[in-house]
Structure 1
Amino acid sequence: MTKLFATRLALAATMMLLVTPAISAQQDDAAPPAPKPGKPINTGDVLSGELNAMKVRDVKNAGKRVAMYQITSEPRRLPAPNGLCNLETGPETFQLVTSSDAQAAQLKSFVGKEISVKVDEVACASDPGQMSEAVITKWSLIKKQ
């Protein structure tokens, strides 16, 4: 009985040694293709996506909490010299910089909804306080028909 058990155990161990390299070779072959860079976004183009709002501390205003708005979209490539913002596919999150209280109030009503903005000025995020991969400093909201 012990001989039979030992024989079966040896057979199972041998099979595992033969099967393991074949399994790891199959896993290496199934590697996903490299992601393609997003389509370019230039001045005057329209960017659409879901609008998110976050409360951040304003360093210039004595740490006061202010709303920061962000659009999450498909990956987009920025014009030179910004390019892909050191990302493989380009940025997917775009911070909307509000230049007035009127712009902030305009965005507040669209939080959590799909919006479109016409991009007038865009760059990669560079300041430590920025929560997005790219920053749109000049923009205008496009109303849906």
Structure 2
Amino acid sequence: MTKLFATRLALVATMMLLASPAISAQQDDGAPPPSKPGKPINAGEVLSGELNALKVRDVKNAGKRVATYQITSEPRRLPPPNGLCNLETGPETFQLVPSGDAQAAQLKTFVGKEISVKVDEVACASDPGQMSEAVITKWSLIKKQ
């Protein structure tokens, strides 16, 4: 019985030795190249992407539901001191904070569509409950011509 176990163990060990170089070669070939940080975005520049609507409960306002809007874009670097927001390539999701009901109503009509906004103030997300990697607090919608 012990002889049979030893034979099987030796067979499995031999198979593992023969298969491991092939497995590691396959893993090396399929490895993606290291990702590069995104283009920088500074105040006054344009950010484009798909607009999404999120429903979030406001922790400061007794849990009232608040419509929150988010742009999904290519990775972008933020100006110092924010940089990459502790991400390898920079944030890809940007929360748009409406300054009033007029801006919120304006965004509501573009949900699910590609939009462009002129960024005036942007920072990394830091408050709990923020659903995006970065937050744009001052912005203006750019009309497509």
- Aligned pairs, how many? 145
Cα deviation, residue 62, structure 1: 1.2
Question: C-alpha distance in 2, partners of 1:74/1:55?
Answer: 23
Which range is displaced more, 72-81 or 52-61? 52-61
Aligned match of 1:18: 18
For residues 10 and 128 of structure 1, do their structure 2 counterparts lie closer, same or farther at Cα, with a shift above 3 Å needed?
Answer: closer
> Mind listing any 5+ residue stretches in structure 2 that lack a counterpart?
none
TM-score scaled by length of structure 1:
0.86
For residues 24 and 116 of structure 1, do their structure 2 counterparts lie closer, same or farther at Cα, with a shift above 3 Å needed?
Answer: same
| Structure 1: 4+ residue segments shifted above 3 A | 1-17
For residues 141 and 18 of structure 1, do their structure 2 counterparts lie closer, same or farther at Cα, with a shift above 3 Å needed?
Answer: same
Which range is displaced more, 17-26 or 56-65? 17-26
For residues 54 and 17 of structure 1, do their structure 2 counterparts lie closer, same or farther at Cα, with a shift above 3 Å needed?
Answer: same
> Mind listing any 5+ residue stretches in structure 1 that lack a counterpart?
none
TM-score scaled by length of structure 2:
0.86
Aligned match of 2:76: 76
Q: Highest Rg: 1 or 2?
A: 1
For residues 5 and 134 of structure 1, do their structure 2 counterparts lie closer, same or farther at Cα, with a shift above 3 Å needed?
Answer: closer
Q: What CA deviation, in whole Å up to 9, does each residue of 1:55-112 have, x standing for no partner?
A: 1101122111010000000000000000000000000000000110000000000000
Between the aligned residues of both structures, percent identity stands at 90
Coordinate RMSD, CA, aligned: 3.2
For residues 8 and 108 of structure 1, do their structure 2 counterparts lie closer, same or farther at Cα, with a shift above 3 Å needed?
Answer: closer
Cα deviation, residue 16, structure 1: 6.5
